[in-house]
DNA sequence: ATCGGCTCGCGCAA
DNA sequence: TGCGCGAAGCCGAT
């Protein structure tokens, strides 16, 4: 019973249609994992109640939002593991290909005569659009389950938050109610008969990706994600507070790509970290409140990044359809950036020049190369990188478009609310305050290379990616 | 090495 | 209505 509430409080029903005869379908989209997945657990609870099969579907959109082959392979190899893990529980897995996602889902429902549809939550416009289209054209119940946030986005806040400081107290209050042990997926007693063989080789062999990106330096999949989590907890967590802002040190969690593809559950990450530190979430929240400025406390700093900032990014996209354009910036930032439009730019580079890492600044070029080469730019450098694109573009609109294009194309964790929020913070003052006025930036916070030189060994970082 | 000023607006206390 | 303070800073004065 307690388990049921733990799941159902994360569910939103989009229509008022009751269950119809047929298997229950979980359309897996943002959260590509078989374990610790509340959307899958909710779909299973319906299927068990109705004594019917449970099937899982993934719609593969090649080059989704401008991603490269590296992203494609990371996703597809992760899905192969999902298929194996689901098979152990007698749950069938399907993959359909095509960019017309909404139509693919509807025709699959008709073909397999499904009785209920469950999907996971994403605040991105494209995903919200698919779901609206589907909702208007199906006659079975349609549920959305937020299994990407610990506190579901619509419960954490019902409006667009102004900054981390306005969302933080709401999350801190709600976290103890949501951060509970996650129920296990059960072996499904009603197997589905009409399964189809998935041709993984064909899905992986994509000639149309004519890009020169390397294969990811990280191995994909949930099993690998849990290995990385264990190594973080054992080796890197204790110095996270000290090292996380030094791009020459590998002090991060290395989990961002897995989190982006939903190959690991953020709730599981928090539970594991707390277990290792032998702390409760109440203790962490209390400590965070007391020493708000104490940023070197590794556990507090990590929970702040993983929970507060991640959920703030979802809040930003969910309640602001302009999350990827100039219109999405706060008013004060739009005003100030409108006033600096005619300011003389010392350098102006084209998208191509940025992409080829051909600016006058070898520190910026190194960050760009780190991203292209490895699929993951260091978090601290992402701010410097985006702010310099603003400084060296002919307009804030150009800068924003270029930063999003590069981020979505090369980062393994691109095409994600975290990326849109991070870039909007850097270029458009989103979730930030006004600062000392500057050319081009106006009141938007400026960052200088000299600041980097004070904080870390810039020469070493440049060498690492020369 | 450390500190204050720069600057805007939310949210809470009064 | 006033006031404190915020997602990661910069700069010049001391």
pLDDT of amino acid A2: 66
Strand B positions closer than 7 A to protein CB: 5-12
Q: How far apart are CA A157 and CA A276, in angstroms?
A: 30
Residue A367 in tokens:
């960050």
Q: Nearest nucleotide (C1') to the CA of residue A160?
A: B10
| Strand B contact with A437 (CB < 7 A) | yes
Task: Find the Cα–Cα–Cα–Cα dihedral A158, A162, A165, A171, rounded to 10°.
Answer: 20
pLDDT, tens digit, for every residue of A281-324? 988 888 777 665 556 688 988 999 999 999 999 999 999 999 99
* C1' of nucleotide B10: residue with nearest CA: A162
Distance CA A324 to C1' C1 in A: 36
CA angle A42-A48-A51, nearest 5°? Answer: 140
| Strand C contact with A308 (CB < 7 A) | no
Q: Nearest to residue A413, comparing CAs of A425, A401, A422?
A: A422
Structural Rg of chain A based on CA atoms: 22
Contacts of residue A165, Cβ cutoff 8 Å, sequence gap at least 6: none
Strand C neighbours among A 245-304, CB < 7 A = 245, 292-293
| Strand C contact with A432 (CB < 7 A) | yes
Strand B neighbours among A 110-129, CB < 7 A = none
Phi and psi at residue A154, in whole multiples of 5°? -80, -15
Residue A172 in tokens:
């801190």
pLDDT of amino acid A98: 92
Distance CA A241 to C1' C12 in A: 29
Distance CA A168 to C1' B13 in A: 20
Residue A266 in tokens:
């953020």
Distance CA A367 to C1' B1 in A: 29
Q: Where are the alpha helices (DSSP H) in A208-322?
A: 222-231, 240-243, 256-260, 266-277, 281-290, 298-303, 310-318
pLDDT of amino acid A296: 65
| Strand B contact with A342 (CB < 7 A) | no
Contacts of residue A111, Cβ cutoff 8 Å, sequence gap at least 6: none
| Strand C contact with A457 (CB < 7 A) | no
Q: How far apart are CA A235 and CA A214, in angstroms?
A: 27
- First and final CA of chain A: distance in angstroms? 57
Q: Nearest nucleotide (C1') to the CA of residue A332?
A: B8
Distance CA A285 to C1' C12 in A: 38
pTM comes to 0.96
| Strand B contact with A435 (CB < 7 A) | yes
Residue A208 in tokens:
């149309």
What helix, strand, coil percent values describe chain A, rounded to 5?
50, 5, 40
| Strand B contact with A433 (CB < 7 A) | yes
Distance CA A97 to C1' B11 in A: 48
A433 touches A165 (CB < 8 A):
no
Distance CA A116 to C1' C9 in A: 52
| Strand C contact with A431 (CB < 7 A) | yes
Mean pLDDT by 10 residues, chain A (466 residues): 83 97 98 98 98 98 82 95 98 96 98 98 97 98 98 95 92 94 97 94 80 77 98 93 88 95 98 94 81 70 92 95 95 93 94 96 95 93 95 96 96 96 95 90 92 91 93
Distance CA A124 to C1' C1 in A: 39
Distance CA A169 to C1' B14 in A: 22
pLDDT of amino acid A250: 85
| Strand B contact with A436 (CB < 7 A) | yes
Distance CA A23 to C1' B3 in A: 66
Q: How far apart are CA A64 and CA A122, in angstroms?
A: 15
Strand C positions closer than 7 A to protein CB: 5-11
pLDDT of amino acid A284: 86
| Strand C contact with A207 (CB < 7 A) | no
Distance CA A243 to C1' C8 in A: 13
């Amino acid at each position: 019973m307690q388990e049921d509430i733990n799941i159902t409080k994360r569910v939103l029903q989009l229509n008022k249609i009751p269950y119809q005869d047929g298997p229950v379908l979980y359309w897996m989209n943002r959260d590509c994992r078989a374990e610790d997945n509340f959307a899958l657990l909710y779909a299973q609870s319906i299927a068990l109640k109705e004594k019917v099969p449970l099937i899982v579907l993934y719609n593969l959109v090649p080059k989704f939002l401008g991603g490269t082959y590296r992203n494609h392979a990371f996703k597809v190899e992760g899905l192969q593991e999902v298929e194996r893990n689901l098979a152990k529980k007698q749950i069938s897995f399907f993959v359909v290909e095509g960019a017309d996602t909404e139509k693919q889902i509807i025709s699959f429902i008709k073909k397999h005569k499904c009785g209920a549809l469950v999907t996971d939550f994403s605040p991105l416009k494209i995903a919200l659009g698919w779901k609206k289209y589907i909702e208007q054209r199906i006659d079975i119940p349609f549920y959305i389950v937020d299994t990407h946030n610990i506190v579901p986005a619509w419960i954490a806040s019902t409006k667009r938050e102004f900054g981390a400081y306005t969302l933080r107290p709401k999350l801190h209050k709600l976290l103890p109610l949501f951060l509970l042990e996650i129920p296990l997926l059960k072996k499904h007693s009603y197997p589905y008969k009409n399964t189809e063989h998935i041709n993984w080789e064909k899905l992986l062999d994509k000639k149309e990706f004519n890009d020169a990106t390397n294969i990811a330096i990280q191995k994909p999949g949930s099993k690998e994600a849990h290995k990385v989590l264990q190594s973080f907890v054992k080796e890197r967590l204790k110095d996270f507070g000290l090292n996380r802002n030094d791009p020459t040190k590998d002090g991060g969690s290395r989990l961002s790509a897995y989190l982006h593809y939903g190959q690991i559950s953020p709730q599981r990450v928090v539970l594991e970290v707390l277990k290792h530190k032998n702390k409760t979430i109440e203790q962490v929240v209390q400590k965070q409140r007391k020493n708000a400025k104490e940023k070197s406390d590794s556990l507090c700093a990590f929970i702040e990044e993983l929970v507060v900032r991640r959920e703030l990014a979802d809040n930003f996209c969910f309640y602001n359809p302009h999350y990827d354009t100039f219109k999405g910036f706060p008013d004060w930032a739009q005003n100030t950036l409108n006033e600096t439009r005619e300011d003389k730019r010392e350098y102006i580079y084209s998208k191509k020049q940025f992409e080829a890492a051909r600016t006058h600044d070898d520190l910026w070029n190194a960050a760009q190369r780190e991203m292209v080469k490895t699929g993951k730019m260091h978090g601290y450098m992402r701010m410097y990188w985006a702010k310099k694109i603003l400084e060296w573009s002919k307009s804030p609109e150009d800068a924003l478009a270029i930063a999003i294009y590069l981020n979505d194309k090369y980062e393994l964790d691109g095409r994600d609310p975290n990326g849109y929020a991070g870039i909007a913070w850097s270029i458009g003052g989103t979730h930030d305050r006004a600062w000392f006025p500057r050319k081009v930036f106006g009141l938007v916070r400026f960052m200088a290379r000299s600041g980097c030189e004070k904080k870390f060994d810039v020469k070493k970082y440049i060498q690492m990616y020369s």
